[in-house]
Amino acid sequence: MTPTDAQVIALLNQMSQGDQKAAQQLYRHFAPVIRSFLLRSGANESLVEEAVQETMLSLWKHPDRFQLNLGASFKTWLLTIAQRRLSDILKKQNKTVPLDESKRAGDSDENSAGSDGTDDGQDPGEGPPDGYARLRQQEKRNLLDECMNKLKGTHRQMLSMAYEHEMSGKEIADSMDIPEGTVKSALHYAKALMRKCLELRFQGEMR
């Protein structure tokens, strides 16, 4: 279970006193979260692992840098740090297209939707495709996962921040250094693509 911010603060205080067990505890809680989040960008696993290690080590070295009064949760703050670490690593390696081979296999957002990446006006809040609700959870996950892999890495990360980690639009915007309006339209667009993909896949399954 993810620790609360108060528990995190206590662990950070212990860590600042040199408590390695506290560092281990924080790692076991947050390294998987960071790893999962960064892998959604499409970066390959070794670079992501590097970023995870650097992020957690910087936390060990400077546990005092996290300030609750900044208004962000610890997880939001940590994901932002991790995202920047990964960007730095990619820049060092001149990796402008950090996509894994497996991710490249899928179509890009543009190929799937034929859009320029802005809000296409479709309402992704409409009901699910016919029969979708009757699927078992694992079947739904498989379908969603297929569609998720068609999205751009940044869109997957935005969806993760918005729905997995329940970050606000402003937090996502700050984390990714983009305007909040862009976040909103990108989320709307990504969901529209997901819905469209699901409809196509689901129809295919039914045939």
Partner 1 sequence: MSQENHTPKRNGWLEDDIADLMRHETAQFDPDQGLDRFMAAVAAHPKSQPIPSLWQRINNRLSMIGLTPALASLVIVFQFAVLVVMSTSEQTGQPATEFRGYSATSEAVPDLKLRVNPDADFAGLASLLNANGCRIVAGPSQQGEIWISVEDKRRIGEVKAILLQSKLIDDVSVKR
Contact between 140 and partner 1 by CB under 8 A: the answer reads yes
Residue 127 sits in the site that holds partner 1 (CB under 8 A): yes
What is the token pair recorded at 180? 């909040």
d(CA 138, CA 120): 30
Toward partner 1, which CB reaches closer, 21 or 92?
Answer: 21
Q: Does 171 bind partner 1 (CB under 8 A)?
A: yes
Number of residues that bind partner 1 (CB under 8 A): 59
Write the binding mask 35 to 74 for partner 1: x where contact by CB under 8 A, - elsewhere.
Answer: xxx--x--------x--xx--xx--xx---------xxx-
Binding-site member from 97, 133, 134, 204 for partner 1 (CB under 8 A): 133
Regarding 194 and contact with partner 1 (CB under 8 A), the answer is yes
Nearer to partner 1, 7 or 53 (CB): 53
The nearer residue to partner 1, 96 or 159, going by C-beta atoms, is: 159
Task: Give me the residue label for tokens 């790893």.
Answer: 35
Q: Hey, what amino acid is at 8?
A: V
Query: Cα(206)–Cα(200) distance, rounded to whole angstroms?
Result: 10
Which SS3 state, helix, strand or coil, does residue 75 take?
A: helix
Distance linking the first and last C-alpha atoms of the chain: 41
Nearest distance, CB of residue 180 and partner 1, angstroms: 6
Q: Are 13 and 59 in contact (CB under 8 A)?
A: no
Q: DSSP code of 117?
A: S
Question: In sequence order, what are the residues at sequence separation of 6 or more whose Cβ sits closer than 8 angstroms to the Cβ of residue 11?
Answer: 3, 22, 25, 26
Of 126, 115, 143, whose CA–CA distance to 205 is shortest? 143
Residues in contact with partner 1 by CB under 8 A are 16-18, 20, 23-24, 27-29, 31-33, 35-37, 40, 49, 52-53, 56-57, 60-61, 71-73, 75-76, 124-125, 127-128, 132-133, 137, 140-141, 144-145, 148, 159-160, 162-164, 166-172, 180, 183-184, 187, 191, 194-195
